[in-house]
Structure 1
């Protein structure tokens, strides 16, 4: 049997708020440099160049067609390398990694690039008979289909997660991200803006000097109470929600028995589950539980969690369902999507890149476990358990 696939390289773009420094970069042009960097890093890790099997990328709101194939060609991979674009909404990037790993596990030993990309700034306006709409339905008639901010607010009310807890968690995510950025925690994983042709200073805001992801540090514990609620008598605000963002992330995967001596993250188990579409933010919790069960591990054995922080209320609900503390130091240690931003189709892959930096680049010993996970619109969750190999 083929050994578990291993991520041996992981890179991402800076994450920019919609309308800022990546706003003029089309979705395929945003993905291409990340794909190229992941390929080059992967070949360097293996010590040789090989024939690539596929490029699998997640994307939610792009122009249609096959973004992964367009980006693969733009990255200079050659006409022989195919591409596949998948959409599992906020879980798309992680689902793409799982899909690529599944092909490797099935016996095709050619390395694969997997990840995700979103350009919220260039997402087209969609219409039916000339009537525009923001997104397609997540559920059919007769099922709940709330917008994500509304769903987060409803979840907070249902579980008694008050405004103070949400603001405290959002402030924590930003503090963690600022601290991480200033100590260089993102330096090895992030490509410079110039690679994407994004020059100038369109990242105007309050981010500290030296912080590349432009939402980081944009809110503070003192400022958070000043944000008005998004809904009457609600608790979710723009301050304790993620920024809608542009960004891309990609990883290089090889079969575990064909990685030479390259260190990396072996994908030990994964799970994709459904949950109540009225409360889609909870989906990551049962997905994590199922993935850990399949890996034969428990929460206590995990050294690092990267769970997409779409809203503070949503993340706190997931932590509560899992029995983890609000400030568990293993969860999004360097800040999550609340601070970095949330490029929908890319965020699941950003979580894998972050695990790679925290565990592989960070020197964690072989056998260390990490979990990446996301809750998904329509009532789903996706999670994967990785193990450090050296």
Structure 2
């Protein structure tokens, strides 16, 4: 069985919904990233398919539209995946599975989300009833809003408000430091916006303090601990990687991230924030990570998952995570792999890494990766 390897990884800057990327549709965000990833590796074989995660887009197979817009050619198909917030990582692990199955040798995979341009939707009623999201689960099984579920998970796991605020503060401090040091630069694909080039993430905030975070009120339930400051922002962005077979990587002589193990899991949809825990436990049976990239949708929910998987919170998101950078739903899982690629491959800061996140409906995806050196190293 051939082993899949990520040999290139890029992303757009991440913008707040209605912010710096508000003019870009989901396919317009993805196309320049696909082109950049494809161009990063000279001599790579033709792309067999493009697989992209997307949650709130317009439909119409966003991956196919983005592939055509990227100029990849009419012969490159396109598959759009929806596993809610885990869609981007699910798209990458699906590409890895297709390589293992021998269906192809090179795939562009990742995710894209434009919350700013997502269409308004309505239930079929008379008159039509607008809604902001589709159900994550049948109502009779429990279908809470994300913030409400995050408060429940944090309360049941005994995660204090103070610990959540400390985690959020660390995420912002790390992201601000990484941005200032240029550690995001190599992975970013600047976009030409209406007000000029967009080349930096919008959200990371300098100047936060523990005292300032403590002043934020509960955002979702009256006695909850999740606030606007220790939760992620709704965001726009795209991320993609080039996944090839191990024999292609050896022929090219380039370094990469080789997939060690991946898993997908489901839990009680009322506790959807814990969706990643079974998947994390499964892949952690194959090795211990030096770096963990976990989508920080809510600080309390993230900490509950890390505690359940016996992972130290200090090892997570070394350059900041979604609390600081934002959460472009369909892209966030792919952003994790891009960030891990930068840490392990571009910077050499570790050998083994974990990417994981929970998603609406009580879903979770996790993947364990190892750094593979290039020729002559």
Which of 237, 258, 277 in structure 2 is aligned with 1:247? 237
Q: In 2, distance between residues paired with 1:285 and 1:107?
A: 30
Deviation of 1:219 after TM superposition, in Å, equals 6.5
Indicate the SS of the match to 2:296.
coil
Q: Which residue of 2 aligns with 1:220?
A: 208
Bigger shift: 250-259 or 348-357? 250-259
Q: In 1, distance between residues paired with 2:24 and 2:131?
A: 23
1:349 maps to 2:351? no
Contact 1:309–1:315 (CA<8 Å) still a contact in 2? yes
Q: Which residue of 2 aligns with 1:206?
A: none
Runs of 4+ with deviation above 3 angstroms: none
Deviation of 1:284 after TM superposition, in Å, equals 1.8
Q: Which residue of 2 aligns with 1:292?
A: 284
Normalised by the size of structure 2, how large is the TM-score?
0.94
Q: In 2, distance between residues paired with 1:385 and 1:325?
A: 16
Indicate the SS of the match to 2:357.
strand
Q: In 1, distance between residues paired with 2:153 and 2:22?
A: 32
1:339 maps to 2:334? no
Gaps of 5+ in 2: none
Contact 1:174–1:219 (CA<8 Å) still a contact in 2? no
Which of 95, 99, 117 in structure 1 is aligned with 2:90? 95
Q: Which residue of 2 aligns with 1:207?
A: none
Q: Which residue of 2 aligns with 1:24?
A: 23
Q: In 1, distance between residues paired with 2:225 and 2:44?
A: 52
Which of 298, 311, 320 in structure 2 is aligned with 1:324? 311
Deviation of 1:108 after TM superposition, in Å, equals 2.6
Aligned length, in residue pairs? 366
Which of 340, 348, 357 in structure 2 is aligned with 1:363? 348
Contact 1:364–1:388 (CA<8 Å) still a contact in 2? no
Which of 167, 188, 191 in structure 1 is aligned with 2:189? 191
Deviation of 1:322 after TM superposition, in Å, equals 1.6
Aligned 1:1-390 pairs, distance under 5 A: 1-2=1-2, 4-42=3-41, 44=42, 48-128=43-123, 129=125, 130-194=128-192, 197-200=193-196, 212-217=200-205, 220-221=208-209, 222-230=211-219, 231-259=221-249, 260=251, 261-293=253-285, 296-297=286-287, 301-326=288-313, 328=314, 330-364=315-349, 368-390=351-373
Indicate the SS of the match to 1:247.
strand
Q: In 2, distance between residues paired with 1:81 and 1:160?
A: 49
Deviation of 1:162 after TM superposition, in Å, equals 1.7
Deviation of 1:109 after TM superposition, in Å, equals 3.4
Q: In 2, distance between residues paired with 1:71 and 1:200?
A: 22
Indicate the SS of the match to 2:304.
helix
Q: In 2, distance between residues paired with 1:19 and 1:100?
A: 31
Indicate the SS of the match to 1:384.
strand
Indicate the SS of the match to 2:109.
strand
Q: In 1, distance between residues paired with 2:194 and 2:47?
A: 29
Normalised by the size of structure 1, how large is the TM-score?
0.91
Indicate the SS of the match to 2:140.
coil
Deviations 1:345-376 (A, max 9, x none): 000000000000000001257xx211100101
Deviation of 1:331 after TM superposition, in Å, equals 1.1
Deviations 1:17-50 (A, max 9, x none): 00111001111101100111111113x2xxx152
Bigger shift: 270-279 or 134-143? 134-143
Q: In 2, distance between residues paired with 1:175 and 1:364?
A: 19
Deviation of 1:324 after TM superposition, in Å, equals 2.8
Contact 2:105–2:248 (CA<8 Å) still a contact in 1? no
Bigger shift: 109-118 or 88-97? 109-118
Deviations 1:123-147 (A, max 9, x none): 1111123111111111124211111
Deviation of 1:66 after TM superposition, in Å, equals 0.2
Deviation of 1:234 after TM superposition, in Å, equals 1.6
Deviations 1:252-273 (A, max 9, x none): 0110122121100011110001
